[in-house]
Structures are given as structure tokens and as C-alpha cells.
Chain A
């Protein structure tokens, strides 16, 4: 009896799309850049791993015989993306995968399924459930601040922290810090706190877009995220995420509300003229904020956005990448911008919704 399975093309497309991003890019170990298709009863499980993290997506289908096949992820994914039919038939023959749609018959050479890594079990240290959309948004909104330098491994990921009534995500590269906070209504048990690698953070942000329930199981050095049809297993980054609470400024010497798109386009334009320090200078005057940059070779740029400033007149410069990253995280039309001179961090957030905070250090010129 050979493996046989029929399912909707879109489901398989999504599954392979997710799975492909979890594979390893290693030529010497081809099995790590492959996906395992495991058919049992009326479900197909698509699995991929690079030995740091793993994913398993479950697809419902019909007419199945049990069986397993391992095929290169890119080949399978690209092929299925090109299928126009609503349904697709999968079949295993001598270790290869046959993909049959109307008028097409394709064979993808497979590898030995016995060599595909087993997905380890997680011994739960703590378990909690929460809204997938909140988790996805929380992780996605702090991702840009994750450190890219491996100098401090604990900063190469997103802190996930769950306590009695609150869920927090945070990331920092020591120059800026992004934090997301939301109320938590489920049962947090004794709470949990861990750091997930940036790459998994990205994937979680993509996968978790709907409000379905996610179960989070924290193990010894790994965590498992489960929705109805997707399970993501990730290693956790060892180390303690720094106590960043003291960094978030509570008071500002000068602050204002600005239209986010105005500020965004002003900073973008100014960035063309910034020097190799990549700075743009913001001057908070009484009735306006002006954004300026100057480069001896290119020229200079200045623009003024009228607004009303609370506090004193101040001038401060930021790395424009940091500023743009932060502004892109915010969602409302208007944003709050507070600064504390050139030696202390400034902060931006949405005007009304305080769930996302973005704190950054100025450049000293």
C-alpha cells in the first residue's frame, strides 16, 4: 500500500511556504533543506527543521493511505505554487513524490524518510494559552529593535514575558528598545519568561495573524507554540534579558504630537542629506518641530512641521534608521514624540494606544 493523499492546493501552498522558511541552508546535509510529508488517516503533516527550530503543519484531506516521503523543500514549494487547480493529489512511489493535478504529472526525487530528524518532545516547565493575534502583533512590533550583533547573545532575540495580568514582548540592541504590552486575560499559572531567536520571531509574526488560540509550552531550553494546525518548536536563547525598565523615560523635557506620515516622509527626505553618522536633527521649537540634515558633499535639507510643544525648546539628533524603524512600528495617524536632550533617550509611541513604546538614544554631535 503506497501513500496517497488529496487536499486543497491552497492549504498545501501555505504549509510548504511556512515549512520552507524553517529549513536549513546546508548543502552537506540535504535532509535539513527538505520537508517531510507524513500521511496518517485523514491528515497530512508537513514537517521541517534545521535542528534549531522545527515546524509541523497539519492539513486535512481525503482518501489517504499512510506513508512518509521526504523531498527538497524549495522544489516542492515552487512546484505547488505553480499549480492552478483547486485540488492536488500526492502519491509516494519508491521514495519519490508524485504530484498529480489535471493534465500534469510530476515526480520529485525524495530522500530516505528514516533520516529525517525526529522532532523532540518538550517537557513542560510552564504552559499558557493566549490570543494568537496579540502574540503575533507583540512579537512583530518589537522585532526591528533586535540586535544583529552576536556580541551579546541575549539581545539577539525577543523577550517574551507573561505574568498574572500582562503579556510583554521586548527587544533591544542597546541603542534602541521596543516594548509591547497587553493585558492578559487567560490563566498565566506561575508565568513564564524566555527569549526566542529573531528568526523564529519573524516567522511567528507571519504565522499568527488571526485570533485563534495559541498554546505556549515552555520547556528547559525550548518552547513550543501550537495553534490548531501549526506547531512551532524553537530553541530558546540562554541568558537573562536585561532589566530594561529603567531605560524607558517617564518624563520629557520636550514633547509633542505629530502626524506620523508627515514625520516619516520628512525623516526619509532628510536621510538623503545625512552625513556618514546617519543623523537627522530634530529641533523642538515652540510652535513646530523642524527636521534637518546636512552633508558637506550633497547639500542640506530642512523642513518644518507645525505642532505645539510641551516643555522646553530642545535640539537632538537621531540615527535616521532607528527613527524610521520606530515610526514604522506605530499604527495610529498621530504619534507622540518625547525627548530629553542629547544625552538621554527619547521615545515615540502612538498618540492614544500606549501598548507599543519605542525608545532610542540620540547621537551626540
Chain B
């Protein structure tokens, strides 16, 4: 770079006329940015330096530069940082380090145990969390379709699969995947406008906009994006106003070939309150599901987490964790964190037994107290019927549903076998038990009231100590 060379030569001349301290004070981290029409633009680190060079050394600098090349007629000073390792004097003198106040890195120990606020790392414009990348996304048979579709969207946003609808249970990596798509698209092309929004936040924004009468502004905000990522769409389905608003946004974006990515905990046809026009649109694109990870994948996820945290956890402990927690990756991570903290606190190396004890509270605490009896009692209490009616051969209409729910809960929470469930309810056949469980599972997808009821019952079973 010729201009850097020129600046270095000029500095060598200027240095001769100045005392060493003032030379260091005023010329460290300076450089020529460019020379245009005889005006040399010089980088200075701050306004103090700019003021000083302009008022005190302007002539000296101009003289020095003109001595090298006569084409320079004037100098402009701008505040900025020289790029890369150029002809500046900062590095060689190490004075910057001396000037910089040394601060203790972390004032208080235990920081690593406190999880930081999640929202702070979030990019304020796109709402994306940079933590979610494909580098940390584990692909297995349970999510490979979704992953493949994601990759093709990254190559061709808006054109390959639009809209992209992804569904699956809690804690299985839906949010990770859709945010990773956003981050990757952004990395490929920083000019792309991306907006990630959980539908609950979207709801809040609509309410705020209605209150402040800024609806138009909100509409514009969402209709100008190139990639819209809407998380947990099932909440949008709760209110009509939301659906309507989203419907119009969706159409506008879709017509302009903008990518829309949607996640939900269930497929579109199972979101009970979703309007027909939205459902058909969702189904018009690509639908991919995320299932339960298998044992190998769970182990792989754990190993990756351990690697990224730079901590040594014995294989047997990881195997134990992967074996114990089957259905939820987030829970898997939570358990791993517990184990890590336990290993930091303990003086002896970790084995599977200590790991088991440290996550015992995490896993089994609510569950170890529940029994078949308790489920029956809670369900009977909840629906205000007699326990006897529930377990006996009554075919009264008001008993049938509670009985099915009780069977479902036994199967889900206690993993009781179908024959023994049938047995508990007055010697019914195991196919009756299977039918009940399947019916409830199916109804749960479409009936939000039932979901609410079962959640309430579960809460009673696990947290209400008076029943126990």
C-alpha cells in the first residue's frame, strides 16, 4: 500500500521535530485513508487528536507530506480506525496497552454458573440469537427432512420451499433450526432483511400498535422483510384479529416471493382454531416434522455440549443421561448442566452414580410420589365424580371421558402396561386401554380445551402436596 508507506515516511520526518511524548500522544493510531484530488484524508483515533492536529500540527504534517509528493494540497482529518496491520505506529510501541486501563475481567466468581439473560445476545434488528447455528445443530434421522429443507431454503430463500412449516414437540430443536436458517441466510448476504418473531411477541406488538394507533407502521415493518420467521404459530390461532393480521402479511410476502418460515408444536390441520384460509396456505408449502431423537443422537448432542463447554465428563455419565432422558433435548441439556455444576463442586471425579444423584431431583422429584391410585384420585376429584364410578364398569357418559384421561395419564406418566391399565379399571380388555390412550392423544391435537384440562390435572398430580 503506497499511501501507508507515504504516511510512515511522513511520520519519520515529523518525529524529528517533536518531543517523543508528544509524538506518541498525537500520532499513534493514525494513518492515511485515501488521497483524492490532492486532499489526503487522515485517520485519527478521537476528537482530541483531530482538534490538536488541525490546530497545532497541520502545517508540519502538510510540509512533511509535500516533501514526499507535491500533489498533496490539503489534509482532512476523520475519526476512525486504520484497517489491519498497516503503517501505523500503534502496535510497535505498545503504548496503547499502557494507556488502556486494566480491568479485572470478572469481578465476581461464579459467573459461569449464572446463566446470562437470553435476550441480550439477540441481534436487535433481526431478533435472531447468534447462538443458534448449524455448527451446533445435530442432524439425525428424526430431523433430517427438516434439515435438508432448511439447507435448500438457505441456497434459494423464497423460491424453493415457501412457506416452510416445521412442527414437533417441545425442546426438540425447532427454534434452533429456524433461527439457524436466519443466521445462515444473513451470513451469506448481510443485506437481506430478516425478522424472527415468536408469535406471542407478535401478539404483543399488535396490541401495542392498536393502543398507540401505529398499526400502519407495524404493517410496514413486517411487510418489508425478505425472510419472516414466525415461531410457535399455534398461539396466533387463538385470536381472530391476529390471524387476520398475519394472513395479510403472509399474502403480501408470499406474492413477492419472500421466504416465510413457520414453526408450531403440531401440524396445521391439528391446530383447532386455525382459519381455513391460513391452513391451506401453510399446507401449500413444505411441511416437515421433527421427531424424537434416538439414543445415538442424544449421546452425540451431549458430547457436543460437553466439548463446547470444555469440561471433562466421563462417557458412562453421558451414556446414563442419554439413556434416561428420552423425549426432550432441552431437558437433556438441563440435566447435563446439573451434572457439570455437581462435578465442579465435588472434589472426586464424577461417576454415573453421582451423576444419577445430582439429576435425581431434576428428573424424579415430582414423579416419584405419583402412583396409579393418585392419578385415579386426582382425576376423580377434578371431574367431581366418585372414584368407584371411575374404576367400575359404569358406562355413564360423564364417566367415560375422565376414565379415558386417567388411562392416558397412567400410560404417559407411569408407563403402565395396557393390560394392567385395563385391569385397574374393572378388568377391562387391554384393547380398551389402547383405544382410550389413542383417542386422547388424537383429541389433544385438535381440542385445546382438553389440553387445558389435562394440563390442570397434571399440575394437581405433581404439585399439590395436600393430595399426597
Contacts and interface: CB of A to CB of B under 8 A. Distances in A.
Given A150-B103, A275-B345, A364 B21 contact: no
A29 B25 contact: yes
Majority SS of interface residues in chain B? Answer: helix
Interface string A214-244: 0000011110000000000001000010111
B117 A148 contact: no
B128 to A, nearest CB: 12
B98 interface: yes
A361 B117 contact: yes
B79 A221 contact: yes
Interface in B115-158: 115-117, 119-122, 124
B312 interface: no
B22 interface: yes
A151 to B, nearest CB: 9
Interface string A289-332: 00000000000000000000000000000010110000000000
A51 B124 contact: no
A363 B337 CA distance: 11
A277 B345 CA distance: 8
A51 B48 contact: yes
A365 B341 contact: yes
A363 B122 contact: no
Interface in B74-131: 79, 95, 98-99, 101, 103-111, 113-117, 119-122, 124
A24 B99 contact: yes
B114 A235 contact: no
B424 interface: no
Interface residues of B, number: 44
Contact of A244 (B51, B107, B120): B120
A362 B21 contact: no
Nearest to B50: A120
B337 A52 contact: no
B320 interface: no
B107 A321 contact: yes
B119 A242 contact: yes
Contacts of A32: 25
Contacts of B119: 242-244, 246-247
A276 interface: yes
A28 B113 contact: no
Given A28-B95, A148-B104, A175 B116 contact: yes
A361 B116 contact: yes
B89 to A, nearest CB: 14
Contact of B99 (A26, A148, A247): A26
A278 B108 contact: yes
Nearest to A177: B117
Contact of B24 (A28, A117, A119, A148): A28
B441 interface: no
B55 interface: yes
Contacts of A222: 47
B338 interface: yes
A30 interface: yes
B49 interface: yes
A149 B122 CA distance: 18
Interface string A167-188: 0000010110100000000000
B21 A175 contact: no
26 contacts: A28-B98, A51-B48, A52-B46, A117-B51, A118-B55, A118-B56, A120-B51, A148-B103, A148-B107, A175-B114, A221-B79, A243-B122, A243-B124, A246-B119, A247-B119, A276-B109, A276-B345, A277-B113, A278-B108, A319-B110, A319-B113, A319-B114, A321-B107, A321-B108, A359-B117, A361-B115
Given A28-B24, A221-B79, 8 more contacts: A25-B101, A119-B48, A120-B47, A174-B120, A243-B124, A244-B120, A247-B119, A345-B117
